[in-house]
Amino acid sequence: MHPRVSGQGIFPRYGGGWMHQFGHVYALQQELLDPNANNWFRAVELWHTARQEGVAMNTTHFTAILRQCVQPGVWAQSLQVLQQMKREHIRPDVVGVGCALAACVEGKHFGAVEDVFNSFHKSMQLDSVCHLARIRARQECGDTKGAIEAGKQQQQEQVPFLPYTYTHLLEACNAEDDDVYALELVRSMHAEQWAPSQRAVVALRELGGRHAMIARASVQVLELAGSNSSLPFSASSHAPLQAIGAERP
Q: Tens digits of per-residue pLDDT, 160-183?
A: 999 999 999 999 999 999 999 999
Q: Answer yes or no: is 91 within a domain.
A: yes
- Predicted confidence at residue 33, as pLDDT, reads 82
- Predicted confidence at residue 241, as pLDDT, reads 57
- Predicted confidence at residue 188, as pLDDT, reads 96
How many residues does the structure list for the chain? 249
Q: Domain range holding 51?
A: 19-126
- Predicted confidence at residue 247, as pLDDT, reads 41
Q: Answer yes or no: is 107 within a domain.
A: yes
Q: Answer yes or no: is 166 within a domain.
A: no
Q: Answer yes or no: is 222 within a domain.
A: no
Q: What stretches of 40-162 show up as alpha helix (H) in DSSP?
A: 40-53, 59-68, 75-87, 94-106, 110-121, 128-140, 144-156
Identify the segments of the chain with pLDDT beneath 50. 1-20, 229-238, 243-249
- Predicted confidence at residue 152, as pLDDT, reads 98
pTM of the predicted protein model: 0.81
Q: Answer yes or no: is 64 within a domain.
A: yes
- Predicted confidence at residue 179, as pLDDT, reads 97
Q: Answer yes or no: is 35 within a domain.
A: yes
- What is the count of structural domains for the chain? 1
What's the N-to-C CA distance of the chain in angstroms?
56
**Amino acid in position 152:** K
Q: Answer yes or no: is 95 within a domain.
A: yes
Is the separation of the CB atoms in 155 and 183 below 8 Å? no
Backbone φ and ψ of 91, nearest 5° = -85, 125
- Predicted confidence at residue 22, as pLDDT, reads 53
Rounded Cα gap, residues 93 and 209, in angstroms = 44
Q: Answer yes or no: is 158 within a domain.
A: no
